[in-house]
């Protein structure tokens, strides 16, 4: 899923007050982490993930999580990655069009 600049700005403003709901630790990207992320995305659509490690490792982990879950990466700030995956039905987000 690709997001436009306007959509990313919209989602960043909505994610500002969110706390991380998934924690990716030393074990890396495991099957249970992916399942937990998918469940959180289905429940909330827009989530933050706390990722441990160096900058390059955090970026690689965020990309891998997005690839495996089908989510879009909104932003990475420090150790927090913001992900978005729109529900097929009853979405709470009406994304702006470019």
pLDDT in tens, 29-63: 899 999 999 999 999 999 999 999 899 999 999 99
The encoded tokens of residue 58 equal 């955090």
Architecture of domain 5-84: 2-Layer Sandwich (3.30)
pLDDT of residue 70: 94
- pTM for this entry: 0.91
Q: Looking up tokens 């399942």, which residue turns up? A: 35
Query: Which pairing describes strands 46-51 and 80-84: parallel, antiparallel, or unpaired?
Result: antiparallel
């Amino acid at each position: 899923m690709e997001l436009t600049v306007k959509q990313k700005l919209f989602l960043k403003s909505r994610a500002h007050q969110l706390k991380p709901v998934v924690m990716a630790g030393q074990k890396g990207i495991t099957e249970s982490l992916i399942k937990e992320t998918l469940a959180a995305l289905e429940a909330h659509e827009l989530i933050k993930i706390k990722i441990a490690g160096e900058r390059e490792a955090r970026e690689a982990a965020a990309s891998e999580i997005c690839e495996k879950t089908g989510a879009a990466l909104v932003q990475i700030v420090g150790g927090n990655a913001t992900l978005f995956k729109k529900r097929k039905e009853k979405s709470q987000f009406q994304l702006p069009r470019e």
